[in-house]
Structure 1
């Protein structure tokens, strides 16, 4: 139940309607999962604790939550846009990342009951989704 749309796809009827070719941004990452795995978990590190032991929750299998998929998909798409303008990256952190992650990591957010943990400075816990759940990777190396 991963992403169902792609910026790289042109509308099927674009040529039939005589529309001029539109600029379609090239995505750096192929999916929200690739974004989480290769970008977000490296850049956004927090100590993850079990309920009642601290302030931040995260589920290694984050993709099992529809809310998390939707929020992370939005976060990834906003990052894709911001990466094309380095000055926009500050806004991405403040307006998008910090706000979305505050909800995702909150003790009453979508991962409230998660038992996953990490130590200070560790990457966010991660479990790979089933094959075919998300689009294939665009990048071959682990950290961009």
Structure 2
């Protein structure tokens, strides 16, 4: 499949680093201090190494995940792709869209990003596009809403 999808903002990498890595760095520091001052021995060293490996893995994985995020509008559908290890490609027909949400957390607000979520007739749908520039997200929401309305009227 030779489709070029629109990428999301690279600032999403920084947001994911800020929101995910402290949950590994703090326990790793605690395990190191436990090893040094608490005489944890090999338990503390092992725990520090395991957490350190997860930290390195996340530091490698996050940029790859963001690089694999993308979206594309077609005449009939919105195409969404995500994931590095478990890659998913979602096709959301405009006729199935019930409403469109935009959300923006505190870190996203600082970096001027938003998340677009398409709520469809399917309860299992995970149609989200994270890391969109705020202006781009607003415009995409309007276009998808208009196309969804038009498809619903045509039905």
TM-score (structure 1 length as normaliser) = 0.26
Instruction: Decide which structure has the larger Cα Rg and report it.
Output: 2
Higher helix share: 2
Q: What TM-score do you get using the length of structure 2 for normalisation?
A: 0.25
Larger RCO (CA within 8 A; separation ≥ 6): 1
Larger proportion of strand: 2
